[in-house]
A and B are shown apart, each in its own frame.
Chain A
Amino acid sequence: MPLSYNFAYLDEQSKKMIRRSILKALAIPGFQVPFGGREMPLPYGWGTGGIQLTAAVIGPDDRLKVIDQGSDDTVNAISIKAFFKKTAGIAITEETRSATIIQTRHRIPETPLQNGQIMVFQVPIPEPLQFIEPKKSQTAKMHGFEEYGSMHVKLYEDIAKFGRIATAFDYPVQVHQRYIMSPSPIPKYDNPKLHRSPAVHLFGAGREKRIYAVPPYTDVVSLDFEDYPFELEKWDGACAVCGSTDSFLDEIITDDTGTRMFICSDTEYCQKKAGNTFS
């Protein structure tokens, strides 16, 4: 391990400050705790919030998995793994089951998580009310007094315009019957995985400097209406690689005449199902 960085890059005082915020976030599920977000050696939008959380939590015995849209091998995941290998000498895994910390850009793995595992979400826009009320001073009050009616109006406008709730990702949820929370831009397909999950879910927004959390076994309910209940995406076909019909599928255009195929977004799940083994 190079000696030019402190373990996991951040200095110890920054880690302390982030750690205190994580504890408050766990104590108030879904509440966005402001924190003194630090400058990271990569631009906002590349996961600076998630990286700060991982840096504050990770230790030498951890096995870190990083995914970018479900894939272990795309640029953001590779870069973040390289970052923690360099600054913390950390063990990397692609296997969901054996990972102790999973940092994610917008998917929750298909393999069910276990108690003791920590999910770290990279969050671009932590405030679910931002598109209704741009002023932070106002949204803080709306959360404080649980004034969430306008959130339902936004979903209703979808129904009026499109005949259904058209929000497909970053679909708002209510946590522990109290706070409305952005689950980060995960597809709404992943929302039910948060509900009473045995794992710890930590959310970090670097640019907006907010940390929030969902503890294990906590109610996480997607907003909906009695006559327009929350529904999951469905696909007609199966994954072209592993044949899965019970995972989130990405549509891939394969030529310039519009031929397309569907494959699993979660590459580790897909490879396992296809019978490939991992080191």
Chain B
Amino acid sequence: MMQKGFDSEVFDSQAVFRSLLLAMANPGTIAATDINISCPPRLQSGAGALLLTLLDFETVLWTDMDTDTPEMQWLHFHTGTRLTHAPNRAGFALFTDSEKLMDPSRFNPGTVASPDISTTLVFQTRGMDQEHHLRLTGPGIEKETFIHLPGITTAFWENRAIMNQAYPAGIDMIFVHARRFTALPRTTKVGVC
């Protein structure tokens, strides 16, 4: 049987978006949603809530899961999002397994005249805290802030930095763990401590 989505589409999605707005505006801060939704097992509830908030029939989603899984059927049922197997055509991409992380440059960074048509990546991680592991600077950060995202390799951050040299083209990222999330827009400089 299909699991339900938000209790209130109007108010739950507003609350989730508002935390996401502040997360994207203040990179590296850890936001949390108190919305309780019961997603299919391989989706963390924060990721489920974010995707229900952002996806609809206009969006194109790439994912590391098979399309016939209960997770993808649930997302498709509640949002109507289209799916793609081509990373560079995706408006959103969902990584459920950080073992399978790919070079972010396989996704769409947008063009120099339309950098907004780029892919937004959503990662489910194994944890998230503010230990001094990654040092973040850039717009939205007063001086510097620190975050630790276990399981994401140094090579991944190096690839991200190379790709974002093409600014304003670039890839924006949201990392989720359980009900918490943090955002790293393309403008955020990441230094591995």
- The interface of chain A, by Cβ under 8 A from chain B, is 6-7, 12-13, 15-17, 19-29, 31, 33-34, 56-60, 115-116, 118, 140-141, 143-145, 176, 178-179, 198, 200, 213, 215-219
Which stretch, B13-21, B40-48, B69-77, B147-155, touches the partner chain A? B13-21
B114 CB contacts on chain A under 8 angstroms: 140
Contacts known (A12-B9, A145-B112); A216 close to B186, Cβ less than 8 A: no
> How far does the alpha carbon of A31 sit from the alpha carbon of B111 in the complex, in Å?
13
Q: How far is the CB of A168 from chain B (nearest CB, A)?
A: 28
A176 CB contacts on chain B under 8 angstroms: 139, 187
> How far does the alpha carbon of A28 sit from the alpha carbon of B25 in the complex, in Å?
11
Contacts known (A26-B185, A217-B142); A116 close to B22, Cβ less than 8 A: yes
> How far does the alpha carbon of A50 sit from the alpha carbon of B22 in the complex, in Å?
18
B22 CB contacts on chain A under 8 angstroms: 116, 200
Are B116 and A31 in contact, with the CB atoms below 8 A? yes
Q: How far is the CB of A214 from chain B (nearest CB, A)?
A: 8
Are A31 and B115 in contact, with the CB atoms below 8 A? yes
Q: How far is the CB of A161 from chain B (nearest CB, A)?
A: 33
B111 CB contacts on chain A under 8 angstroms: 144
B68 at the interface (CB under 8 A from A): no
- The interface of chain B, by Cβ under 8 A from chain A, is 9-11, 13-15, 17-18, 20-22, 24-26, 53-59, 111-116, 118, 120, 139-142, 167-168, 170, 172, 185-187
| Pick from A31, A33, A141, A200: contact of B25, CB under 8 Å | A200
Q: How far is the CB of B84 from chain A (nearest CB, A)?
A: 17
A115 CB contacts on chain B under 8 angstroms: 26
> How far does the alpha carbon of A175 sit from the alpha carbon of B184 in the complex, in Å?
18
Are A28 and B115 in contact, with the CB atoms below 8 A? yes
Contacts known (A7-B10, A19-B53, A200-B25); A144 close to B113, Cβ less than 8 A: yes
The 7 closest A-B pairs by CB, nearest first: A27-B185, A144-B113, A218-B139, A215-B140, A144-B112, A24-B116, A27-B172
> How far does the alpha carbon of A56 sit from the alpha carbon of B17 in the complex, in Å?
9
B185 CB contacts on chain A under 8 angstroms: 26-28
> How far does the alpha carbon of A15 sit from the alpha carbon of B167 in the complex, in Å?
28
> How far does the alpha carbon of A179 sit from the alpha carbon of B186 in the complex, in Å?
15
> How far does the alpha carbon of A7 sit from the alpha carbon of B20 in the complex, in Å?
20
> How far does the alpha carbon of A28 sit from the alpha carbon of B167 in the complex, in Å?
9
27 of the cross-chain contacts (CB-CB < 8 Å) are A6-B10, A15-B17, A16-B54, A17-B58, A19-B53, A19-B54, A24-B118, A24-B172, A26-B24, A26-B25, A26-B140, A27-B170, A27-B186, A28-B168, A28-B186, A31-B115, A31-B116, A57-B17, A141-B113, A145-B112, A176-B187, A200-B22, A213-B25, A215-B25, A217-B141, A218-B139, A219-B139
